[in-house]
Amino acid sequence: MRLRAAMIGVAAAALSLSACTTMDGAGATASVGNVPQLQTAYGAVTGTREGAANDVNVFRGIRYAATTEGRRFQLAADPEPWTTARPATEFGSECPQRPSGDVPVFKSWENSVGTSEDCLFLNVWTRGLRDGKKRPIMVWLHGGGYVTGSGSSNGYDGSRLAERGDVVVVTLNHRLNGLGYSYLAGLSDDPKYADSGNLGSLDIVKALEWVRDHADEIGGDAGNVTIFGESGGAAKVSTLMGMEQAKGLFQRAIAQSGSMSLAGFTPRLATPLAKDLMATAGVSSVEELAAMPIDDFVEAMMKSRSKAAFYRPVVDGRSLTRQPYAPDANPVSGDIPLLVGTNNNEMRLQGGLGSPENFALTWEQLPAKLTPFVDDADVEEIIAGMRKAHPDYDASDVFFQVATFRNYRNTALRQAERKSAQAAPVYMYRLDWKTPVEGGRLETPHALDIAFVFDNVARSLSYTGPETAQTKRMADLMADAWIAFARTGNPNTAALPQWPAYNVQQRATMIFDVDPEVVNDPDSAERELLQRLLPEGRSL
């Protein structure tokens, strides 16, 4: 760490002799002409100036590790240094993955840049470069489970967040699916494959080390880093909270609609999945699997038992020595404040938009629809209890709420309950604002919060509908709360009612809507019913 910091300091000093230094509202920024330049430990990169006031320095596609081509299933290595400044104006490649389906409401966010095993890149938005300011650093972990996605989505653009809060925003790509989470230690004695079950998470650790080592360079505070993510990104946040290697690399954590990583796989489950992948690929050794052409590898994943979707971190005794949140909150992150929550109707996206018949269920159809989420013996009790708790619900409403609780709300509650037993506080929220798209039938679906947290309503029109006073207010409320939490570990702002920390006695929850309010134990009858009868894990 000291050597790397010294390298950056020497290179930055040399750069300052030839660079034209300009001044803006954020302070001194090193640039050549009007092109911002950032000195990494491996070489200089040039970016762009963006934002409403043209005062956000943006660097896309910064290499934080070497290519993994030719080193499949192995720990990421440092990049080879370069001597001539490289452009950092385009996003780096995404990890190879199965094709994602066409989701019309995500149209505004689409920004695919192609895939490659050379995918370990990160992106930075900051108003200052080596200007001595100690800005909070917010590192976003993208959604898509552990199998798809990237940090280049238009929804994750960090310009607005960097401007409104004077924070540094970082997004990144890492290895996914079978490339990042194939547990091969039980199938090979070669030590280079010993960490194969958690490479995706270890890539994130390496990116966080880059952030730590370059914090001064990007105008941030290495001692004030927040990791945050939605859906699979929230699961990655929860996993990192249980990893010794990540300790000290972040000081706050936010898990949005994805607390499903209360527990990872064990070798007992992960080893047969890896065996099945090898069998499907038609190879007899890990070395052959590692040498397969990447297109053949992805095809084998999609045909295997995993279907390129059944991957999670593995409690391998190395990077994960125990479950992150089971049976309790891992003490390794006991001093890390946590902000956690969900949207009110998450499953109206996956369970509705993909299966429109679910918007018009009859009471007769409902029991069969609930069986993927509920034990058969409990179906009728759950239906009766939900109708009592919500007399105005129809059968579709009951289906979506039970599915939402099963897949999202239950694990968020369990995470908050277990975290509240530790020294650092936990804050619970629920987003209730309803989107008008799709005729309003989606209500408050999965991923809607991203538009408001990043203050990117203008980039999210296919999901939030047109910009209005309401959407602007929602962005103001949520983005400022997230910035406040990143800055202090407390999400309270002047625009919100007093938001207490969560505990199992009051269960204080911030309800985000045009008129936000704090409610103790919202929908308590539903919670008591479904926590009693539903298992806590996410259905797969």
Q: What is the largest CA-CA distance in the chain?
A: 76
Average pLDDT over residues 461-480: 97
Average pLDDT over residues 462-476: 97
Average pLDDT over residues 224-246: 97
Residue 32 confidence (pLDDT): 63
Give me the catalytic one of 238, 304, 446, 460: 446
Percent of the chain whose predicted confidence (pLDDT) is above 90: 86
Q: Which of 380, 375, 409, 428 is nearest to 526 (CA)?
A: 409
Phi, psi (deg, nearest 5) at residue 309: -130, -15
Can 443 be counted among the known catalytic residues?
Answer: no
pLDDT digit string (tens) for 499-532? Answer: 999 999 999 999 999 999 999 999 999 999 999 9
Q: How confident is the model at residue 1 (pLDDT cuts 50, 70, 90)?
A: very low
Residue 538 confidence (pLDDT): 40
Instruction: Please list the residues that pair with 94 across neighbouring strands.
Output: 115
Give me the catalytic one of 231, 319, 396, 420: 231
pLDDT digit string (tens) for 74-129? Answer: 999 999 999 999 999 999 999 999 987 778 999 999 988 899 999 999 999 999 99
Can 142 be counted among the known catalytic residues?
Answer: no
Range scoring the smallest mean pLDDT among 13-27, 208-222, 471-485, 521-535: 13-27
Average pLDDT over residues 284-296: 98
pLDDT digit string (tens) for 199-215? Answer: 999 999 999 999 999 99
- The full DSSP string for 157-168 is --HHHHHHH--E
Can 539 be counted among the known catalytic residues?
Answer: no
Tokens of 367: 């029991």
Distance CA 121, CA 93 (A): 8
pLDDT digit string (tens) for 358-391? Answer: 999 999 999 999 999 898 999 999 999 999 999 9
Asked if the bond preceding 337 is cis, omega within 30° of 0, the reply is no
Percent of the chain whose predicted confidence (pLDDT) is above 70: 93
The contacts found for 497-504 with CB under 8 angstroms, 24 or more apart, are 499/427, 501/420, 501/425, 501/426, 501/427, 502/416, 502/419, 502/420, 502/425, 502/426, 502/427, 502/428, 503/420, 504/417, 504/420
Q: Which of 95, 91, 103 is nearest to 119 (CA)?
A: 95
The separation between CA 191 and the C-alpha centre of its own chain, rounded to angstroms, equals 30
Alpha helices in 394-492, H assignment, sequence order: 395-404, 410-419, 449-453, 461-464, 469-488
Q: Is the pLDDT of residue 12 over 60?
A: no
Tokens of 58: 């943006």
Residue found by looking up tokens 């091969």 in the block: 184
Give me the catalytic one of 94, 346, 417, 443: 346
Residue 537 confidence (pLDDT): 52
Query: If you average pLDDT over every residue of the chain, what do you get?
Result: 92
Q: How confident is the model at residue 535 (pLDDT cuts 50, 70, 90)?
A: confident
The separation between CA 416 and the C-alpha centre of its own chain, rounded to angstroms, equals 17
pLDDT digit string (tens) for 127-144? Answer: 999 999 999 999 999 999
pTM to 2 decimals? Answer: 0.94
Residue 306 confidence (pLDDT): 80
Q: Are 33 and 83 in contact (CB under 8 A)?
A: no
